[in-house]
Amino acid sequence: MTLKLLMEVSPQELLESLAELQNHVLGYVKSTSLKCAVDLGIPATIHKRGGTATLADIAADAKVHPAKVADLRRMMALLSASGIFTTTAAGTGDDDGAADDTAAVQYGLTTTGRFLVGWRNLSPVAPFFVNPLIVSSFFDLPDWLRSEPAPAGAGSLFEQAHGCSRQEMVGKDAGFGSVLRDAMTADSELFLEVIIVDKGRIFRGVSSLVDVGAGNGAGTRVVAKAFPRIKCTVLDLPQSVGQAAAAGDGNLSFVAGDMFESIPPADAVLLKVGIHEYHLSVPRGHVNEKFIFLLNCSPLSVLECFA
């Protein structure tokens, strides 16, 4: 900070700017605290108790050590300020955010927080995006930005950091594979529920559909159930399809294969995220043949669903 800056701005603006800088530098605390809350089952605790819970309720259900309840309170205060939880002083009905050692505070779920509970929820997404393998990739961002682009978009940030793609990492690290599949399942189920409710007309006239890269087909099952007339097929690599291939029934079936080699014929192809990822991985001015193949994979239509 220079003397000139001190003279140009007011003390109030300096303090606000410093707070904003610290907010960015410590931004990871929000995401890791959210993951911690999900791992401890805090949103579920609030939900199962009728929508509100005290700090004592949460600490008891999460088995937090008594000596660390004060630390839990601070984490709850952070997540409340971040828009995940609400705080109401018991008996007043006022959502004033008060949370001290003497006031009985009821914690609730905001609209955002409610995405973490219930039949279709996004709680598995936090453990994936805050996974050490994902987060550590960003420490290589300066080197990645300075390096020569890899041919055909093969050099993603994750690949530079770990020497393999995320799909290849699934085969190497069972834990990573588990959180990836859980996150994809949760995201796909909820996303396609919303698409069907809001944009269900895109499925009109479609009698067959191939969901490319759909893993265990959790999202595809949502489509198959909503539209029994549509013959749905899940296409993914053998290690991704796994045991789900034997679980096909009714209008849902599974095919193990490589989408860059062939895609089963259908009226429509559903590509969730896939096109987006391959398009953005190509340097400006270059052509990704795999991307072109995906765009031409269906004779009638491609349903592009970007999460």
Q: Count Cβ atoms below 10 Å from residue 70 Cβ, excluding itself.
A: 10
Instruction: Say which residue the tokens 């789900």 belong to.
Output: 244
Q: What's 146's DSSP letter?
A: H
3 assigned to some structural domain: no
CB count, 10 Å around CB of 48? 12
Assess if residue 4 is contained within a domain: no
Tell me, yes or no, whether 155 and 205 share the same domain. Answer: yes
Q: Identify whether 167 is part of a domain.
A: yes
The answer on 69 and 86 residing in a single domain is: yes
Q: Residue 1 domain-assigned? A: no
Q: Please tell me the predicted confidence (pLDDT) of residue 39.
A: 97
Of 62, 84, 116, the residue that ends a domain is 116
Active centre residues (catalytic): 276
- The SS3 call for residue 115 is helix
Distance, CA of 252 to chain centre = 25
Indicate if 295 and 155 belong to the same structural domain.
Answer: yes
DSSP state of 180: H
Within-domain flag for 91: yes
Measure the CA–CA gap between 93 and 170, rounded to whole angstroms.
Answer: 48
Q: Are residues 201 and 300 in the same domain?
A: yes
Owner of token pair 């409610």: 114
* Last-in-domain residue among 95, 116, 137: 116
Q: How far apart are CA 234 and CA 217, in angstroms?
A: 6
Specify the pLDDT at position 120. 84
Residues 70 and 129 in one domain: no
278 neighbors 290 (Cβ within 8 angstroms)? yes
**Rounded to an integer, what distance in angstroms lies between the CA atom of residue 30 and that of residue 269?**
37
- Size (the chain), residues: 307
Let me know whether 189 and 218 are in one domain.
Answer: yes
pLDDT at 248: 63
- Is there a single domain that holds both residue 173 and residue 282? yes
Q: Are residues 177 and 256 in the same domain?
A: yes
Based on the domain organization, do 134 and 72 belong to the same domain?
Answer: no
Tokens, residue 105: 């505070």
CATH number at residue 24: 1.10.10.10
- The answer on 163 and 266 residing in a single domain is yes
State how many domains the chain has. 2
Q: In angstroms, what CA-CA distances link 245 with 48, 155, 235, 248?
A: 34, 31, 10, 6
Q: Are 120 and 189 in contact (CB under 8 A)?
A: yes
Q: Write out the two tokens for 98.
A: 């008060």
What pLDDT score does 302 carry?
Answer: 47
Does a structural domain hold residue 2?
no
Give the residue numbers spanning the domain of 269.
Answer: 125-305
Task: List the CATH number of the domain containing 144.
Answer: 3.40.50.150
Collect the ranges in the chain with pLDDT lower than 70. 1-2, 91-103, 150-154, 243-248, 273-307
Strand partners, 231: 208
Nearest Cα to Cα of residue 42 among 60, 58, 29, 30: 58
For position 119, what pLDDT does the model report?
Answer: 85
> Do residues 48 and 151 both lie within one domain?
no
pTM of structure: 0.78
CA dist 98 and 232 (Å) reads 51
Q: What is the pLDDT of residue 104?
A: 80
- Among the candidates 83, 116, 149, a domain finishes at 116
Measured in degrees and rounded to the nearest 5, phi and psi for residue 272 equal: -95, 115
Is residue 238 a part of any domain in this protein? yes
In a domain, 170, yes or no: yes
Q: What token pair was written down for 218?
A: 């959790």
Q: Which secondary-structure segment (H or E) carries 289?
A: helix 289-295
CB neighbours (10 Å) of residue 273? 16
Same structural domain for residues 140 and 104? no
pLDDT at 305: 42
